[in-house]
Structure 1
Amino acid sequence: MRFADIVIPDTSATRGALEVATAYCSPALLNHSVRAYLWAAAYAGMNGIAFDAELLYVSSMLHDIGLVKEFDSHTVPFEEAGGHLAWVFAAGAGWPVERRVRASEVIVRHMWDKVDLAEDPEGHLLELSTALDISGRRPEDFPAGLRAEVLERYPRLGLGEEFIACFRDQAERKPDSLAATFVRGGVADRIRANALDG
């Protein structure tokens, strides 16, 4: 698997989602969102997993939008805020209600420990890809050449420390959130040990 083998969908919705992410995310968070899709799509291609590329791409671009100040919620966890924003975005894109709900589900579930592949292939792929990109889980599932290509095109730009700060802020304000659970579980150490930063 090489970078050129990854199919990147080109629809009005995917272009719009990238535009939103570019407008609101920091450079590091934007590159993380792009890499989240690339890792997910590459993994699916290498393992014969059928998935909805447009849905996964839109969800990848918006999955961390709840961390940015303009969309941060003081009442719900960031992934739920992001899910709500994705529902609104998808409505504007003309998606039917069921597809809007799917975008929201995929984003909320990316924070789960595990998402069942049979039940939700896009959620499974986004959970897997974000775990790789943030805390370095299972890099051996991706060829070294592919990892190098993706990181050269979309460098990390200090994502680790930025993400630690975001999660600590979420944990302080939302102690019952999954972000807070991750912080208490030592996510900062895992982020700092991520082989992708080596």
Structure 2
Amino acid sequence: MDAIGRRTLAGVSLPDTPIVGRAIEYARQRCEPYLFNHVVRSWLFAARIGQLQNVEHDAEVVAVGTLLHDITLNEHFAGPRRFEVEGADLARTFVRDGGFDERRAQLIWDSVALNSTPSIGLYKEAEVALCTAGICLDVVGLQYKLIPSTEMARIVGEFPRLGMKRRMTRCFCQIANVSRETTYDNFARDFGERFVPGYRAPSAVDSVMNAPFQE
């Protein structure tokens, strides 16, 4: 990729290109303030992990993938597919319209679709793995100690969490309540089982045992 401009945000050196700027504004429009801060922190964490570990990667892909990974996560989401897949399609269209070729657009799709599936995302291409790592750091603290404490404090100070645990829980419970068919094989199931009265996801065991074959 050709040399690109740089910007500094919360002390982190980041790519500064037209599509990154558009992704920031798109995320700002689509996300509530707490969620916008989350996607920005995820970007900052992903960038710093890449820098600290000397991971060669496409910085624009990581930027856009993290910034757009939660554009469908809200308390009104109603499917019909997993919110990550719905978001991945929107993000891929966004970058195609912005001039990304199909390889880079697919990296964006994978980064968004797999953002809550680290058991897969962390082992894919560097860009997908970094997006996943930055997002998981902000949500569950994965590799928390990798970021120096002073840098962590500055990032969280400039982009505060604004009750993220509580607000995200409400979103996941909404999904489990109204779109539970999208939750049976992913983390949203845990929120349904913990917080949503009457929630019962289909069992993979039942699916295997009830497959239309004799054996």
TM-score category of the 2 structures, normalised to the smaller one: 0.7 to 0.9
| 1:13-162 pair list within 5 angstroms | 13-68=19-74, 72-115=77-120, 119-162=124-167
Give the number of aligned pairs. 184
> Is the contact between residue 114 and residue 124 of structure 1 (CA under 8 Å) also seen in structure 2?
no
Pairwise CA distance, 1:152: 1.0
Q: Read off the aligned partner of 2:163 and give its amino acid letter.
A: G
Question: Deviation above 4 Å: which 4+ runs of structure 1?
Answer: 184-187
RMSD between aligned residues = 2.3
Residues 167 and 179, structure 1, Cα contact 8 Å, conserved in 2: no
Residues 115 and 127 of structure 1 are in contact (CA less than 8 Å); yes or no, is this contact kept in structure 2? no
What is the deviation of 1:169? 0.9
* TM-score after normalising by structure 2: 0.77
Q: Which has the higher strand share?
A: 2
Query: Which residue in the other structure is 1:194 paired with?
Result: none
When structure 1 is superposed on structure 2, of 121-130 and 110-119 the one drifting more is 110-119
Shift in CA distance, 52/115, structure 1 to aligned 2, threshold 3 Å: farther
The unaligned stretches of length 5 or more in structure 2 are 1-8, 196-215
The answer for unaligned runs of 5 or more in structure 1 is: 188-198
Structure showing greater radius of gyration is: 2
Deviation at 1:145, TM superposition (A): 0.7
TM-score when normalising by structure 1? 0.84
Per the TM alignment, residue 98 of structure 1 is displaced from its structure 2 partner at its CA by 2.3
Q: Aligned letter for 2:127?
A: E
> Structure 1 residues 138, 26: closer, same or farther in 2, change over 3 A?
same
Q: Deviations over 1:138-197 (max 9, x none)?
A: 31122111110101111111111111111111122232422423425869xxxxxxxxxx
